[in-house]
Structure 1
Amino acid sequence: MVPLVLIAPSLLAADFSHLADEVRRVEDAGADWLHLDIMDGHFVKNISFGPAVVAAVRNETTLPLDVHLMIQHPHHYAPRFVEAGANTITVHVEPDARHEVSKTLSVIRAAGCRAGLSLNPATPFSSVEQYLPEIDLLLVMTVHPGFGGQAFRPEMMEKVRAARTWQQSRDSQLDVEVDGGINFDTAKVCVENGANVLVAG
Structure 2
Amino acid sequence: MVKLLAPSILSADFWRLGEQVQACIEGGADILHFDVMDGHFVPNITFGPVLLESIRKHSQIPLDVHLMIENAEKYIPEFVKAGANMISVHVENNYHLHRVVELIKSLGCKAGVAINPGTSLKVLEEILHYVDYVLVMSVNPGFGGQRFIDRSLQRIRELKVMIEEINPQVLIEVDGGIKEGNITQVVQAGADILVVGSGIFAAQDVKAQAKKLKDLIVSSVVV
Q: Select which of 7, 27, 42 maps to 1:29.
A: 27
Give the whole-Å Cα distance in 2 for the aligned partners of 1:73 and 1:98: 8
Cα distance in 1 for residues equivalent to 2:95 and 2:17: 32
1:27 is displaced (CA, Å) by: 0.6
Q: Does 1:87 align with 2:80?
A: no
Larger relative contact order, structure 1 or 2 (CA cutoff 8 Å, min sep 6)? 2
Q: Match of 2:131? A: 135
After TM superposition, list the pairs within 5 Å mapping 1:113-192 onto structure 2.
113-170=109-166, 172-192=168-188
User: What amino acid does structure 1 have at the position aligned with 2:31?
Assistant: W
Q: CA RMSD in A?
A: 1.3
Counterparts of 1:73 and 1:171, CA distance in 2: 27
Q: Distance in 1 between matches of 2:167 and 2:97?
A: 23
1:176 Cα offset (Å): 0.3
State the match for 2:107 in structure 1: 111
How far apart, in 1, do the equivalents of 2:123 and 2:132 lie?
Answer: 16
Note the alpha carbon deviations across 1:24-59, whole angstroms, 9 max, x for none: 111111101000000000000000000111111111
Deviations 1:75-109 (A, max 9, x none): 11111101111110000000xx2441111111111
SS at 2:173 equivalent: strand
Task: For residue 187 of structure 1, report the CA deviation from its aligned partner.
Answer: 1.1
What TM-score results when the alignment is normalised by the length of structure 2?
0.85
Matched residue count: 197
Consecutive unaligned residues of structure 2, counting only runs of 5 or more, are 198-223
2:129, 2:166 within 8 Å by CA — same for their partners in 1?
A: no
Output the CA distance in 1 between the equivalents of 2:96 and 2:167: 27
Matching residue's letter, 1:111: L
Give CA-to-partner distance per residue, 1:149-189, whole Å, 9 cap, x none: 21111112222112222333356321101111101222111
Residues 73 and 99 in structure 1, CA contact (< 8 A), matched pair in contact too: no
Given that 2:33 and 2:195 are in contact with CA atoms closer than 8 Å, whether structure 1 keeps it comes out as yes
Residue-by-residue CA offset, 1:121-162 (whole Å, 9 max, x unaligned): 101101111100110010100000001221111112222112
Secondary structure of the structure 1 residue equivalent to 2:141: coil
